[in-house]
Structure 1
């Protein structure tokens, strides 16, 4: 069996980040791999645990704890049933180890920091598909991460609306 890998998936509960998770599960995750769900919360949010972990991000949160509403609230998150179902399924079917990590700040910088801190082999994130003007004004998180992350990055585009 190949050595287990650590695969990060950036998650903000948008349709594109859910598509990225689904794509990673279907195309990238192998038996025994570790999936790290990376959340970047606005620096303006002030949940209970922010002061403890603002500089380094939260400790790794195992899936069993991540399912608990109280734990999520401490980090300023609202659990998403669809995401939890996908994570439960991949954990069971592929024996993947699922953990979450929460950061506060600019998503571009924090996702790149996570790649290094967590020694990720690969990163998957969604693309919101901003138009040219918005991308110039706001900057694209996915574009920045592709240019600056120290591991391979897969960008999953927004599912087409049929």
Structure 2
């Protein structure tokens, strides 16, 4: 991730879930208050890479298309002007590990309370829990409003 941002760096994880959109909005508001920059990080990984018991899947991932979709997603959530002020990063890897690396030197790491996983009733997802325990900066966990 870029280390050349002037002012405080705010890193936010975006995974397409409602709570990640709430985290994104929170991060943009906070960065505006402290004169910081926002790095929105979207992480993709292939099944079979990190201890999954199924055989590895050979999938072609169009990273340029993923970046374009993320840019559109930010525009849909924030509006054009605010979205243009957010730096985007689409990264392959384990989501918790990538977010922890991206947050090195950051003012704050912002994540949604839970992602798109199948456990709808959990209050805190595994990525949020992991980064809260291991980040070298403050972590803000944002819950989305009622559906």
Distance of aligned partners of 1:40 and 1:24 in 2 relative to their CA distance in 1, 3 Å threshold: same
Distance of aligned partners of 1:77 and 1:89 in 2 relative to their CA distance in 1, 3 Å threshold: closer
2:128, 2:79 → 1: CA distance?
22
Contact (CA 8 Å) 2:71, 2:88: kept in 1 or not? no
Give the CA deviation at 1:123: 1.0
Choose from 94, 105, 108 the match for 2:96: 108
Q: How does 1:52-63 map to 2 (within 5 A)?
A: none
2:95, 2:83 → 1: CA distance?
26
Distance of aligned partners of 1:102 and 1:155 in 2 relative to their CA distance in 1, 3 Å threshold: same
2:61, 2:68 → 1: CA distance?
9
Number of residue pairs matched? Answer: 125
Contact (CA 8 Å) 1:47, 1:76: kept in 2 or not? no
Residue 51 of structure 2 corresponds to: none
TM-score by length of 1: 0.63
1:68-109 C-alpha deviation (Å, 9 max, x unpaired): xxxx41x576236452251633367xxxx4211122121111
Q: Which runs of 5+ in 2 are unaligned?
A: 1-5, 48-58
Q: Which runs of 5+ in 1 are unaligned?
A: 50-71
How large is the Cα RMSD of the aligned pairs?
2.9
Give the CA deviation at 1:43: 3.1
Residue 43 of structure 2 corresponds to: 40
Tell me whether 1:84 sits opposite 2:55 in the alignment.
no
Residue 24 of structure 1 corresponds to: 27
1:122, 1:89 → 2: CA distance?
22
Q: How does 1:61-72 map to 2 (within 5 A)?
A: 72=64
